[in-house]
Amino acid sequence: MDTNSGITYAKDCPSRTVLSVLANKWSLYVLGVLSGNDRPLRFTELRRHIEGVTQKSLTQALRNLERDGLVSRTIHPTIPPRVEYRLTDLGREAGTLTTAIADWSKTNAARVHAARAAYDARLADDRA
């Protein structure tokens, strides 16, 4: 497939694999938390910031982000080993997107919840 065609919706477009990582909610949260900190964070710090994430989900998100070059992982040779995560330059660019999504979500949450309630009410009326 011609990667310059701009058709990111095609199933064989290479950008789809990148989008799938960025579209993962835990990846978005990791990028957001790391974007909001001016220092590297340890796994436990990330987990404290991201309520509801399991150890398995956070580990997978961090591995995917590291694989894609968005997060760097540094192991410090201490006992026990200290592992820290920080955004790469590429990750900081992606972090601006996640910050924009978070800002939009905060600004429009009430409108989205109102739309959901209206939809659910219409659906309930149709079933009655």
pLDDT digits (tens, 9 = 90+) for 56-86: 999 999 999 999 999 999 999 999 889 999 9
For residue 18, what pLDDT is reported?
A: 83
Cα gap 29→88, rounded to integer Å: 16
CATH topology for 15-127 is Arc Repressor Mutant, subunit A (1.10.10)
**Nearest of 31, 11, 12, 8 to residue 21 by alpha carbon:** 31
**What pLDDT is recorded for position 1?**
43
pLDDT tens, position by position, 26-64:
999 999 999 988 899 999 999 999 999 999 999 999 999
Q: Phi, psi (5° rounding) for residue 87? A: -75, 145
Domain ranges of the chain: 15-127
Q: Is 33 in contact with 71 (CB distance < 8 Å)?
A: no
Q: What is the Cα 62 distance to its own chain's centre? A: 10
pLDDT at 14 over 80: yes
Q: What is the pLDDT of residue 13?
A: 83
pTM for this one? 0.82
